[in-house]
Structures are given as C-alpha cells and as structure tokens.
C-alpha cells in the first residue's frame, strides 16, 4: 500500500485506523485525511513514540491491510 492508496482509500481505512490507534479521535483523523506524514505525527504525539516507531507502525498496518 503506498501513500496514494492511503489517501485514496481514507474513508474505508479510517475505521481500521481508529481500531489500531484508539487514542486518535475522529477530529484528529479528519484532520489527517489520509496523509501519511500527518498520521505519523498524530501517532507520535498520542502514544509518545518516536517518528521512526510511528512510521514502522504505519508500515506494519499497511502490510496487514493488504491481506
């Protein structure tokens, strides 16, 4: 799944993203609107992880969503 896929399928993925990262509110997810870098920033802030860890979590999520 690439950056365009996240943005293009955001409405479909938003629910799965919320399941994965429950601390992210609907308002925060609406602001992200499928932008991968913004999602990483929100994960980083909400969960107190590094940017690298947030990106790794997104990559793992993307791999799992392909199945």
In the chain, how many domains are there? Answer: 1
**The pLDDT of residue 11:** 82
pLDDT value at residue 3: 54
Would you state the pLDDT for residue 59?
A: 92
Q: What is the CATH number of the domain that holds 53?
A: 1.10.1470.10
Domain membership of residue 30 as a residue range:
3-66
In this prediction, residue 17 carries a pLDDT of 92
* Per-residue DSSP letter, 1: -
Residues with pLDDT less than 50, the chain: 1
pLDDT score, position 67 = 63
Enter the pTM of the model.
0.83
């Amino acid at each position: 799944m690439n950056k365009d896929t996240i943005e293009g399928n955001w409405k479909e993925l938003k629910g799965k993203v919320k399941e994965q990262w429950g601390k992210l509110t609907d308002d925060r997810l609406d602001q992200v609107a499928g932008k991968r870098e913004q999602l990483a920033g929100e994960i980083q802030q909400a969960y107190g992880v590094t940017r690298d860890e947030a990106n790794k979590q997104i990559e793992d999520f993307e791999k799992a969503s392909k199945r």
